[in-house]
Amino acid sequence: MASPLATLITGQHPADAEPLATGPEGVLDWGWFRHRVQCRENHLATLPPGPVAIHQPEPCEFLSWLWAAWRSARVAVVSASGFRDLPSALMAPLSDGSCATVFDPAALPAELPGDTALVLFTSGSSGSPQAVPKSLAQLDSELALIDHLWGNQEQNTLVVNMVSHHHMFGLPFGLLWPLTRGALFHSRTVHHPLALERLARQQHLALVCSPVHLRHLPDNLDPDSVHNRISRVFSAGAPLAENDAIRCLELFGTSITEIYGSTETGAVAWRRHPSAIWQCLPGITVDHPPATSHEQSDQLRIHSPALAHDRPLTTADAGQILSSTTFTLAGRIDRITKIGGKRIALSTLESSLTSHPWVQEARLVPLAERKGRLGAVIRLTAEGNAALIDRGRQAVNGLLRDHIAGPVDPVALPRYWRYVARMPLNSQGKTTVDTLTELFISERQSRFPILLESEELVAGTHCRLHLHIPDNLFYFNGHFPGNPVLPGVVQTHWAIHYARQHFTGLDTFTGLEAIKFQHIIHPGALVSLELQWQPERTRLHFSYSSARGRHASGRVLFSCEKSHGI
């Protein structure tokens, strides 16, 4: 049975010797945790009063900051993006490089409820991220619902989190739930699927992940290591594709438990493949709001004890009510925006675009940096890709613009167009306004992959890096429209960049040898970069590989003369 958060925050239970988490550093107990919390409290005592912004990638360190904030009677402010989705002026500057700093109260709702303990920001999938206050009582209510359904089933399992603990899925399911019920959780967020093999060989796991992680499970994952070793898999953030659900059932020996909810509501309902019917968590009911000029009658309205003051919340999701506790989803309601003073229904335009035989998927986004005009992100069909190659971007832009023109106000026609192999996703598996906007603003596009994990194979000369290739990588622009690939020169540049970080003696670049590019690297790929440095020959071997096999390899030559770069 889960303990209330307030009891754990203020009391001396559990005992110091009780285990809290386990990971590469061994078992971490409550005594270690309380010492970390005390250090954080001491630091917070030196800061001006006010809300505290917390962003810390390591789960246990994050919890120590969160506990310290609550013990200091401060509101903790958390954002899944590390506050990159908020104007930088809203945060007080970091004075000492710490992971917690005073957050500008002007960035929060004018009147926070008096019992607010935590403020999270929504994902921004349908607009600008919004601040959502939570009380300890609300968090306890959700944790009690989760524990009622799955607590007894997850005994003697290690909870492993693959998603960020900075939002309302990874935080309750991956950290607060095991913490309050006395179950062990893994002390590190697991980014690379192959790490599951090592953990599953040691202990049964309960996995908290997103559809993105399940979609990218590598083909070379050892089924003997994970089959019947992962007792439950929780997935949230987006609907799980049927073929991914079937593959995971075959691989793990258990169906995926999908969670439906939001930052505002917390967890609302669950389902297991192959059912399309969502079942509400205990004590939660759904209905449709009374039809008005502002609300569509097919919107879902949530009644939950985890909502503030038990007030129902009308969502932006449409659905069919089967009973007060069961429903099916039918997509998002129309997203309305104003462009040039005109009210424009974005989803109507998107539907019009996808009616063209060349368009498989379309998303529109208003671009504040471009005077609010619309940008169109298009995933083409095979026929559309062929047309893009044969006719060129400008011709395809014009044909699609003409296709939706008709009665549409000219100001609503997309001014800017991007063609992608798949819609860009964030770490929670969502296509957000921010991830779409980044495709049009080159300054905001990443020049490097996301480093998931690094392994030092031989100190100073041999390492392996696990990388995620982001959808919004700058180097995918125009290379090639509709079928972006990672250029070979970029792969070579990355190898040198990371080698300089890990090894010494890489001085002046002098040339390349035996460069081979065997398989294309696409957006969203998970790849391993292996680097081997031969200091006596001033030569670097590099190779990129994934579940598909070897992507690229080669040797980079250096001289002993110092240089500032390649």
Report the CATH number at residue 454: 3.10.129.10
Least confident range from 42-46, 207-211, 546-550: namely 546-550
Residues 229 and 146 in one domain: yes
Cis check: omega of the bond before 542, within 30 degrees of 0: no
Taking the CA atoms of 377, 382, 383 and 389 in sequence, report the sign of the dihedral they define.
positive
Residues 194 and 318 in one domain: no
**Region class of 112: left (phi > 0), else alpha (psi between -120 and 50), else beta:** beta
Is the pLDDT assigned to residue 2 strictly greater than 80? no
In a domain, 21, yes or no: no
Output the pLDDT for position 448: 92
- Which CATH number do you get for residue 96? 3.40.50.12780
What domain range is 519 assigned to?
A: 445-559
In a domain, 414, yes or no: yes
Least confident range from 228-237, 255-264, 437-446: namely 437-446
Place of tokens 């998303």: 363
**Per-residue pLDDT band at 90 (split at 50, 70, 90):** very low
Element (H, E) at 550: strand 549-559
Output the pLDDT for position 429: 65
In a domain, 93, yes or no: yes
Mean pLDDT across the chain? 86
Is the pLDDT assigned to residue 26 strictly greater than 70? yes
In a domain, 18, yes or no: no
Residues 219 and 195 in one domain: yes
Q: CA dihedral defined by 235, 236, 240, 245, rounded to 10 degrees? A: 10
Residues 234 and 102 in one domain: yes
Cα 319–chain centre separation: 25
Among 333, 353, 373, the domain boundary falls at: 333
- Which CATH number do you get for residue 421? 3.30.300.30
Residues 83 and 192 in one domain: yes
Residues 87 and 173 in one domain: yes
Output the pLDDT for position 101: 75
Residues 282 and 228 in one domain: no
Sequence-ordered alpha helix ranges (H) in 169-241: 177-181, 194-202, 211-215, 223-226
503: its two tokens: 């090894």
Least confident range from 74-78, 121-125, 492-496: namely 121-125
Output the pLDDT for position 93: 44
Cα 82–chain centre separation: 11
Residue 199: partners with Cβ closer than 8 Å, 6 or more residues away:
158, 160, 186, 190, 205
In a domain, 366, yes or no: yes
Give 286-311 pLDDT, tens digit per residue. Answer: 999 887 655 556 889 999 988 876 78
Residues 281 and 260 in one domain: no
Least confident range from 179-188, 259-268, 356-365, 469-478: namely 469-478
pTM score: 0.74
31, 195, 232 from 27: Cα distances, Å: 11, 18, 23
Interior angle at CA 397, CA 392 and CA 399, nearest 5: 100
In a domain, 235, yes or no: yes
**Per-residue pLDDT band at 489 (split at 50, 70, 90):** very high
Is the pLDDT assigned to residue 499 strictly greater than 50? yes
Residues 269 and 290 in one domain: no
Output the pLDDT for position 532: 96
Residues 48 and 158 in one domain: yes
300 vs 111, higher pLDDT: 300
Spell out the SS3 assignment of 30-68: HHHHHHHHHHHHHHHCCCCCCCEEECCCCHHHHHHHHHH
Residues 229 and 325 in one domain: no
Residues 286 and 231 in one domain: no
In a domain, 326, yes or no: yes
- Total of domains in the chain: 4
In a domain, 344, yes or no: yes
